[in-house]
Amino acid sequence: MSEHVKEIGEPEYETEVVAASRQQPVVLDFYSTDCPPCEALAPKFESVAELFAGRARFVKIFRQGSRELASRLGVTGSPTLVFFKDGKEVGERMSGEEIKKTALKAQVEALLS
């Protein structure tokens, strides 16, 4: 686990994601085991997190341990990236194997501008 990506559990969602996004944008990654696209996203997610260190927060959450939250947010696939700003979800979600590092970077840039 990189120092730039924080892993949280369902109980920390309100503080680490919703409340934290009032300070700076938060990208939340739902991941699963037995999910090669999740394995593929992990290094890209960490490298983008490092790039935006101090400006945006990158958080990951294990879906199998957060069923209620996943279902409340309507997340039905892994990996899914959900973006938060000013206490609410913003922008397009990204999901599946095709998440590109350049696209993730661009979306975070857009949240910061």
Partner 1 sequence: MAERYDVVIVGAGPAGLAAAIYASRARLKTLVLDESVPGGQMKTTHKVSNYPGFPEDVKGADLAKAFAMQAERFGARIRRAVEITGHDLSGKTKWLELDEEEKVEAPAVIVATGAKPRELGVPGESRFRGRGISYCATCDGAYFDGKEIHVIGGGNSAVEESLFLTQFARKVTIVHQFDHFQAEPVSAREALESPKIEVIWDSEPRAFLGENQLERVRIENVKTKEVRELATDGVFVFVGYAPRTDLLKGVVPFNSWGYVETGEDMSTGVPGLYVAGDIRSKRFRQITTAVADGTIAALAVQKYVKEHG
When asked if residue 50 is in the footprint of partner 1 (CB under 8 A), the reply is no
Alpha helices in the chain (DSSP H): 13, 36-51, 67-73, 101-112
When asked if residue 65 is in the footprint of partner 1 (CB under 8 A), the reply is no
Cis before residue 79, ω within 30 degrees of 0? yes
Q: Is the CA virtual torsion 28, 106, 22, 85 positive or negative? A: negative
Residue 35 known to be catalytic: yes
When asked if residue 61 is in the footprint of partner 1 (CB under 8 A), the reply is no
C-beta of 22 vs 100, nearer to partner 1 = 100
**CB of residue 11 vs partner 1: minimum separation in angstroms?**
21
User: What residues have CB less than 8 Å from 42, skipping those under 6 apart?
Assistant: 31
Query: Which parts of this chain interact with partner 1 (CB under 8 A)?
Result: 32, 34-44, 63-64, 70, 74-78, 80, 93, 95-98, 100-102
